[in-house]
Amino acid sequence: NTGLVEVPMGITLRELIFDVGGGIQNGKRFKAVQIGGPSGGCLPEAFLDLPVDYDSLCGAGAIMGSGGLVVLDEDTCIVEVARFFMSFTQSESCGKCVPCREGTKHMLNILQKIVDGKATLEDLALLEETALVVKDASLCGLGKTAPNPVLTTLRYFRDEYIDHVVHRICPAQVCQAMREFWIDPEKCRTCGKCARVCPVSCISGRPKVPYVIDQAKCIKCGSCFEACPFDAIVIKWRRKGNA
C-alpha cells in the first residue's frame, strides 16, 4: 500500500511497513527501509521494532526528514541504492564549501567504481573516511546529511560491499558489471551476428563451429544478447566460488 498516511509518532517501523503498508509484495523478503529522503539512512531488519521518532532514527544513523520511506526487498542492491542517492545529493550541492562539493563527488566516483567492479579495499576505506569528513566539515544541512546513505549501508550491509569489491559479485544480481555472457553451443547456429555487433571484438568463431566469448575482453554491454536471434546467449551471474 503506497501513498500518504498519517500515523502517530512512536509507531514502529514494523507496524508502519507491514500493518499499514501491507508488507512486501510477491512474497519477497524484507531487506531494508530507506527513511528520511535522499539524505536519510538505510536500516536493516534488526531495526523493524524501532519507534519512528526523531531521536530513535538519529541514533540509528537515519533522519526523519519529510517522513518518506522506501521499502527495499531482497532484489535490491544496497550499494546501488547508496550510489543512486549520492548521485542526487551530489547534483544538489550548491558548491560553496569544499567538503560537500568535492567530497560528494569523490564518494560518487568510488561508489561507481564499486558497482562497476573496479574498486579495491583501499577505495572502500577511503569512501568511509571521506563520508565522515563530509558529514563533519560541511557548512549546511545538505552536506552534513548527504553521507547518511553511505554510512548506514557501510555500517549495516558491509558484507554486501565486500562481495562487490573482493568477490566481484552482486548478491541481488543488479550491477551489470558482475554478470557474464556465455554462448550455449547447443543453440548457437554460427550466424556470426553476435560477433558483428560486439564493440570490442571479443567474440570469435566460424561457420559450423559454435562461437565463444573471451571473458577477459568482454565489457558486459549486452549487445550480443540483444542481437542473437536464436537465444543462444546466456547471462550468468557471478557467485562466490566462481567469481
Q: In sequence order, what DSSP letters do the residues of 36-80 get, joined into one string?
A: SGGGSEEEEGGGTT-B-SHHHHHHTT---TTS-EEEEETT--HHH
Looking at residue 2, what is its pLDDT? 79
The answer to whether position 201 is within a domain reads: yes
Helices 98-115, 121-137: axis angle to 10 degrees equals 150
The three-state secondary structure class of 30 is: strand
Predicted confidence (pLDDT) per residue in 82-108, tens digit: 999 999 999 999 989 999 999 999 999
Asked whether 149 and 41 are in contact (CB, 8 A), the reply is yes
Instruction: Tell me how far apart the terminal alpha carbons of the chain are, to the nearest angstrom.
Output: 38
Q: Which of 167, 194, 216 is at the close of a domain?
A: 167
Q: 131 and 52, same structural domain?
A: yes
pLDDT confidence bin for 60, thresholds 50/70/90: very high
Looking at residue 242, what is its pLDDT? 57
Residue 239 has pLDDT above 90, yes or no: no
What's the chain's average pLDDT? 93
| Block residue for cell numbers 577511503 | 126
Residue 69 main-chain phi, psi, to 5 deg? -130, 135
Predicted confidence (pLDDT) per residue in 208-234, tens digit: 999 999 999 999 999 999 999 999 999
The three-state secondary structure class of 168 is: coil
Residue 112 has pLDDT above 70, yes or no: yes
Residue 235 main-chain phi, psi, to 5 deg? -95, 125
Looking at residue 168, what is its pLDDT? 92
Question: Which range, of 10-14, 24-28, 129-133, 168-172, averages the lowest pLDDT?
Answer: 24-28
Asked whether 227 and 194 are in contact (CB, 8 A), the reply is yes
The alpha carbon dihedral of 117, 122, 127, 130 has a sign of negative
Q: Can you tell me the mean pLDDT for 134-142?
A: 94
Q: 212 and 130, same structural domain?
A: no
Please, which residues have CB within 8 angstroms of residue 102's CB and are 6 or more apart in sequence?
A: none
The answer to whether position 172 is within a domain reads: no
Q: 60 and 26, same structural domain?
A: yes
Q: 23 and 53, same structural domain?
A: yes
Total-model pTM? 0.85
Predicted confidence (pLDDT) per residue in 20-53, tens digit: 989 998 889 999 999 998 889 999 999 999 999 9
Residue 237 has pLDDT above 60, yes or no: yes
Q: Which domain holds residue 48?
A: 13-167
Q: Can you tell me the mean pLDDT for 166-172?
A: 94
The answer to whether position 242 is within a domain reads: no
Q: The domain spanning residue 157 has which CATH number?
A: 1.20.1440.230
Residue 69 has pLDDT above 60, yes or no: yes
Q: 192 and 129, same structural domain?
A: no
Domain count, the chain: 2
Q: Which cell numbers in the block locate residue 201?
A: 571484438
Q: Could you give the angle at the alpha carbon of 86 between the alpha carbons of 84 and 92, nearest 5°? A: 110
Asked whether 85 and 149 are in contact (CB, 8 A), the reply is yes
The answer to whether position 127 is within a domain reads: yes
